[in-house]
Structure 1
Amino acid sequence: MNFFVFDIETIPLPFDSFSESSQEYILRGTTTEEEIAKRKAEMALTPLTAQVVCIGLQIVERNEKTKEDKILKVGALAVDNALSDSEERREKLSNDVPCNMYNEKVCIEKFWNFISKYDPAHLISFNGRAFDAPFLMLRSALLEVRPSKNIMSGTKFNYPLHTDLIDELTFYSPSFNYGATKRFNFDFYTRAFGLPSPKGEGIDGSKVSEFYNQGKIIDIAEYCLRDVKATWSLYLLWEKYLHF
């Protein structure tokens, strides 16, 4: 069996790229500069108002007899929209991990190529059913790219080809305020389970747009891959103690 661990980083599209009516719709209900800034930052959360800037991947093969895991591939696909459809730029991250750069459309095409190459694979994510997977599906359509697989197949409570850890750790009954199934962020879960937090080195999800605009795509890719590796570590703990 193959496991396909993934995570994406996104940033808002330029606000000025939207029509006046779209800008009004996005900001509707805001009255203060603080509310406007918050609403613009939230644009990064939907594929209609944001773009992918990095996709982190880790493909793991499990020997069904020995149950030993072997990492087949780990790396990042990053976005530089100055590149044409035929251009690629190759960089190296820590530990010689590859980071290949393309424009956004080609970056997403490369992701679907990996999905096809390692299919059948069990997807693993943190909040992937609510964010990463639908974002990639819809963003693909907006860029006229056909996904190689429906990674949103199944229903809210039954999707056997994907383990979304936020659903498993809240037992599909998340509470946003209190209780045993209170939903925490990824940083909180990793620390609670004694894992190294991927948040650090001056970057977290709220700073991705700032880093990207400063040309710090390598820093974003490193951060994205820390998320991926922490997701796999958290999955192994969940699988060992809570998977029945």
Structure 2
Amino acid sequence: MSGKTYIVYDIETAGLPIDSFDDSRQEYLLRGAATDEAKDKKINEMALSPLTGQIICLGIKIMQKVDDQWTEVKAGAFMVDPTFSDTDSRSDDLPSGHKMFVCSEAKLLEHFWKMLTSYPSPHLITFNGRGFDAPFIMLRSALLKVKPLYNLMQGTRWNYRDHHTDLLDELCFFNPQQSGATRRYNFDFVAKSFGVQSPKEAGVDGSKVGELYAEGKLEIISEYCLRDVKATWELYLAMKEFIPDIR
């Protein structure tokens, strides 16, 4: 099959254990937290930075367009088992019918880069990917000494659109504001507004991922991540039809 390839991806993250940092870094991370509640808040926020968090799941959906017809080439999730070394892996079937490939974080990144570069000139689709997913993946790769095979952050916000559609940027017309017509809304709100089923309707959202991961509920996280990917693709199609110049 030949045609333009579109790759939709999304990551789920969790904070690294606070006791995995030395005393000076723990003090730095918890500085100013005078109560247990404040400390818990800072610890939960560790999932948002690649220096204090880790990628625990990556969902991907690969679509090709030939003669104005879309075909799904591949869809599945890479899931990190914290007990796995870089030589361990397994493949499980999810209830949704998709595959869940379980491995270490370093192996997840290696597989992602190889998959990304196996398609010529892929067009990436994300929601806030330029603000979160892409830099997180790039920096976790560097920290784990996994060499990226593709620059997810190439270009500037003014010229990256030919190879990456970040739906959040498109919704704000590249002029995000705290209020008004170009206000930034979260994915759940935007999806529902465009008639797309929110991935959170099954009862899982990003705030619960860390707890689910600690409980070993890898399938639930993978299914949630894949619902995110599916909703991102459907939102892309809905927006592209009616908003000019979306690639």
Bin the TM-score by the shorter chain: over 0.9
Unaligned runs of 5+ in 1: none
AA at the equivalent of 2:90: R
Partner of 2:176: 174
The aligned residue for residue 144 of structure 1 is 145
CA distance in 2, matches of 1:228, 1:14: 27
* 3-state SS of 2:57 partner: strand
Deviation >6 Å, runs of 4+: none
Q: Is the 8 A contact 2:191 2:197 kept in 1?
A: yes
- Structure 1 letter corresponding to 2:176: P
Q: 2:185 and 2:33 mapped to 1: Cα distance?
A: 27
Partner of 2:48: 45
Alpha-carbon contact 2:76-2:100 (below 8 Å) kept: yes
User: What letter is aligned with 1:41?
Assistant: N
Structure-2 separation of matches of 1:206 and 1:49: 16
Q: What does 1:199-210 correspond to in 2, within 5 Å?
A: 199-210=200-211
Which residue of the partner structure matches residue 242 of structure 1?
243
Distance apart, 1:25 and its partner CA: 1.1
Measure how far apart 1:87 and its partner are: 1.9
Return the alpha-carbon distance in structure 2 between the equivalents of residues 200 and 91 of structure 1.
Answer: 24
Could you tell me which runs of 5 or more consecutive residues in structure 2 were left unpaired when the two chains were aligned.
none
CA deviation string 1:87-111 (max 9, x = no partner): 2111111332111000111111111
| Equivalent position of 1:217 in the other structure | 218
1:154 maps to a residue whose letter is G
* SS of residue paired to 1:199: helix
Q: How many residues align?
A: 241
SS in 2 for 1:156: coil
For the residues of structure 2 that align with 1:119 and 1:26, how far apart are their CA atoms? Answer: 41
Please name the residue that 2:61 is paired with.
Answer: 58
Secondary structure of 2:123's partner? Answer: strand
TM value normalised by structure 1: 0.96
Cα shift at 1:203 = 1.3
Q: TM-score, normalised by structure 2?
A: 0.95
Query: How high is the sequence identity, in percent, across the aligned residues?
Result: 49
In 1, the alpha carbon distance for the partners of 2:37 and 2:183 equals 28
Name the amino acid aligned to 1:161: H
8 Å Cα contact 2:13/2:54 also seen in 1 = yes
Moved more, 192-201 or 29-38: 29-38
Deviation for aligned residue 1:20? 1.2
**RMSD, matched Cα:** 1.0
Aligned amino acid, residue 213 of structure 2 = Y
* Pairing 1:14-163 to 2, within 5 Å after superposition: 14-63=17-66, 66-159=67-160, 160-163=162-165
Which of 5, 8, 12 is the equivalent residue of 1:2?
5
